Amino acid sequence: MGGIAAFFRLVGAARVFARHDALVPEEFREQIPFAARLGARVLRLTTFGGTSGGRLGERFTAALGELGPSYVKLGQFLATRPDIVGKALAGDLTALQDRMPPFPQAEAKAMVAAELGKPADALFDAFSEPVAAASIAQVHRARVKGRADEVAVKVLRPDIEGRFQRDLEAFYLAARFAERFAPAARRLRPVAFVDTLAASVREEMDLRLEASAAAELAERTRGDAGFRVPRIEWELTAKRVLTSEWIDALPLRDPAALKAAGHDPARLATLVIQHFLTQALRDGFFHADMHQGNLFVDPAGNLVAVDFGIMGRLDPLMRRFMADVLYGFLQRDYRAIAEAHFAVGIVAADRSVDAFAQALRAVGERVFGRPASEISMARLLQQLFEITDMFGMEMQPQLVWLQKTMVVVEGVARDLDPEHNIWEASRPVVERWMKATLSPETRLREAAEGLGDFGRTLQGIFSHAAQAAASLTQSGVRLHPDSAALIAEEEVRRTSHVRWAIWLGALALAVIALRFVL
């Protein structure tokens, strides 16, 4: 029954797209099979008030907006994938950011009461009409009872979980149709794309997870000049309600207003790039939805991030890989970039390092010597992944999120400063992280942590051996006294060897460190 309902919802959505001439667009009509063109024509004849004016991106965006929150979220997700939809369409889809109509204040207050256990009027002295509305939630400005400071109260849309679940069934059906009947679409893996969207949406609809992400990012970036995260009000936060510090700030989407307020857009563009890279490289935990609607500037000139529903993580190996790749391009050292790929096992070991370095040169050399405004780091990473795919690359989900965020962040920086030099902004962050990672102190700390892990492993082995011996004894199995003595002597001898190995290893590391220092 669910499949039938999903099919009819999909037909309904197709009619909306057809009415806006976005189902089988006029621009691509000659490239589409006749049967698909005929079906779209029939659907359009069954609709009223259709339009074919404007660019494809504008028509597609209008259709998504009409279909509601789930489709708006789909559009926002597609906006981060210019590799799938093209740069022009991705740019038009950014109009969907924070442009949803709000739901009534009374419904928001009812949600607050249900989630926090008290009426909104008992918790807040003031609770405004919606000040921002997005696909999943909207924000109200409020003042906590008995306090002078103001807070932002984020409230989920009513029945958003159920609506998303129903629409996701239709998305999956469309994705399966595409994989089965459109061979050209298979390489884009539409079902996997919907999987990623579904996982992202599930996390975004539990505001406790968003609050936790905000608190973690605030802790990691506490000492970073020029960047801040609003404080979370935990006692006023639940699954469907999130309360945080209110920030009086200007949105980053209006460079003219920022300049009128005395802020330098070029400086802000550099801050956006550098703080994103710092979070990704140093912490392995970054805001993965850094579009203009989620970034503000306070009166002191600090970059303020909001909306932490989508976060990215990079493990230490991927962070080192990312730094090696960026540093390699900065130095035009293609052999080093190739070796970085092989070192982490992303490229099949039976491929040629030299051949891969040659292919990388074709990616890198085409951008050097061109004006900074024409060099796209995000595009470079996309081409890098395309080349790597030719060499048997196994794509890492961590890197997909990284590339998506890089596309968005680079777009934000270029909107602020069209001549912004992404590479020069990146260089100090990458070089600082490389120096910190390769320093003798870091190597010694990592070695000490490794030795600690080694010691804990040995302790675990000895503990298991003791437990086994005790188990044998309890089972009635006895060891001959001479055997027990020999085992004890061997244990002492082996433990002594382990101690000597640890001390010798530490001494060797100290000598290496001194060589680096001297």
Q: pLDDT digit string (tens) for 87-115? A: 677 777 777 765 678 999 999 999 999 99
The letter for the amino acid at 140 is H
Residue 417 annotated among the catalytic residues of the structure: no
pLDDT the model gives residue 29? 57
* pTM greater than 0.75 (yes/no): no
pLDDT the model gives residue 239? 96
> How far lies 389's CA from each of 192, 263, 328, 402, 427, in Å?
17, 42, 19, 17, 27
What are the residue ranges in the chain where pLDDT is below 50?
1, 34, 469, 472-473, 475-518
HSE-up (13 A, CA, CB side) for residue 256: 0
* C-alpha torsion angle, residues 114, 308, 293, 104 (rounded to 10): -10
| Contacting residues for 197 by C-beta, under 8 A, at least 6 apart | 73, 74, 77, 168, 171
pLDDT the model gives residue 12? 79
**Around Cβ 196, how many Cβ atoms within 10 Å?**
16
Token digits for 70?
């789930």
What is the spatial distance between Cα 518 and Cα 512, in angstroms, rounded to a whole number? 10
Token digits for 399?
């890197």
pLDDT the model gives residue 440? 56
Q: Which of 289, 307, 324, 417 is catalytic?
A: 289
Q: What are phi and psi of 249, to 5 degrees?
A: -155, 165
Q: Strand, coil or helix: what is 497?
A: helix
| Contacting residues for 515 by C-beta, under 8 A, at least 6 apart | none
Q: pLDDT digit string (tens) for 201-249? A: 888 899 999 999 999 999 999 999 999 999 999 999 999 999 999 999 9
Q: Strand, coil or helix: what is 242?
A: strand
pLDDT the model gives residue 467? 57
DSSP for 268-336, please give it: HHHHHHHHHHHIIIIISEEES---GGGEEE-TT--EEE---SSEEE--HHHHHHHHHHHHHHHHT-HHH
pLDDT the model gives residue 480? 46
Using an 8 Å Cβ cutoff, are 440 and 512 in contact? yes
Token digits for 95?
């109009």
HSE-up (13 A, CA, CB side) for residue 473: 9
